[in-house]
C-alpha cells in the first residue's frame, strides 16, 4: 500500500484556530471530515489516516508550533517510511491572491518559518508543497497582525468552496500524481 504524509501547517491554541496562518490545519481538517475520520493526539501532533483507492494518507497537524514543524514531519516520515516525494506540506502564502493554489515539487521556503524548519531538518528543498493564497492586503509593518488575524467576512464566505477545491487537489496528488495535479489545480 502506497503511503503519503499530508501535513497542514498551523499553530496550536484556540487563539489561532481561525487565523490565516492556520490554513494548513483547516485544509486537513476539511479532508478528515470529508472522509469521516477524526484526529487523535500522537507524537508531535494530531494524526489521522484516510484510505483512498489502495493508498493511505496520514494527515498531520504538528503541535510543535510553526517554527518547529520539521520535527513532526521528519518523525512521521521516518516512522511510516514515507518518501519525500510522497509528502505534501500545506501552508499559507502572502504572495498569492486569496484562495489561489500553487503546488510545486520543490522550492525555497519563501520566508515561511514552517517551511524553513522542514527544509533544515530534511536537509532538502525537494519535497512537494501546497501553498494557499491569503493575499497581502495589509499596511506596511502589519504583516504579523494580518497573518495571525482572522479571515474577513468575504473570505469566510468563500473559504468552504476553496477548502473543497483543496481536498480535491490533495486526492488528485495521491491518485493522479504531482504533475497532473499541478496542471489541474495551479492558479485555480
CB-based contact 169:181 (threshold 8 Å)? yes
pLDDT tens digit sequence for 19-49: 999 999 999 999 999 999 999 999 999 999 9
Does the pLDDT at position 1 exceed 80? Answer: no
Mean pLDDT of 177-183: 97
The CATH architecture to which 2-185 belongs is: 3-Layer(aba) Sandwich (3.40)
pLDDT tens digit sequence for 68-97: 999 999 999 999 999 999 999 999 999 999
pLDDT score of 141: 81
Grid cell listed for 1: 500500500
| Of 188 and 171, the one with more pLDDT | 171
Active-site residue flag, 112: no
Bridge partner list, 101: 132
pLDDT score of 142: 80
pLDDT tens digit sequence for 109-168: 888 889 999 999 999 999 999 999 999 888 888 888 888 999 999 999 999 999 999 999
pLDDT score of 145: 87
Residue 139 DSSP code: -
Q: How confident is the model at residue 98 (pLDDT cuts 50, 70, 90)?
A: very high
Nearest to 58 by CA among 114, 11, 19, 40: 40
Long-range contacts of range 105-111, CB-CB < 8 Å, 24 or more positions apart? Answer: 105/178, 105/182
CB-based contact 90:132 (threshold 8 Å)? yes
* Residue from 20, 21, 102, 129 carrying the catalytic annotation: 21
pTM for the full predicted model? 0.95
Amino acid at each position: 500500500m502506497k503511503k503519503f504524509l499530508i501535513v497542514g501547517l498551523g499553530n496550536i491554541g484556540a487563539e489561532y484556530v481561525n487565523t490565516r496562518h492556520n490554513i494548513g490545519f483547516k485544509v486537513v481538517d476539511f479532508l478528515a471530515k470529508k472522509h469521516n475520520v477524526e484526529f487523535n493526539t500522537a507524537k508531535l501532533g494530531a494524526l489521522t489516516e484516510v484510505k483512498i483507492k489502495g493508498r493511505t494518507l496520514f494527515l498531520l497537524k504538528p503541535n510543535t508550533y510553526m517554527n518547529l514543524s520539521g520535527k513532526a514531519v521528519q518523525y512521521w516520515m521516518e516512522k511510516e517510511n514515507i518518501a519525500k516525494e510522497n509528502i505534501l506540506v500545506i501552508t499559507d502564502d502572502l504572495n498569492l491572491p486569496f484562495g489561489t493554489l500553487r503546488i510545486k515539487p520543490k522550492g525555497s521556503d519563501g520566508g515561511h518559518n514552517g517551511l524553513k524548519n522542514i527544509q533544515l531538518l530534511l536537509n532538502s528543498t525537494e519535497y512537494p508543497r501546497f501553498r494557499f493564497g491569503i493575499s497581502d492586503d495589509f499596511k506596511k509593518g502589519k504583516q504579523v497582525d494580518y497573518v495571525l488575524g482572522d479571515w474577513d467576512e468575504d473570505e469566510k464566505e468563500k473559504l468552504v468552496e476553496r477548502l473543497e477545491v483543496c481536498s480535491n487537489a490533495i486526492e488528485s496528488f495521491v491518485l493522479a500524481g504531482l504533475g497532473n495535479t499541478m496542471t489541474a489545480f495551479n492558479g485555480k
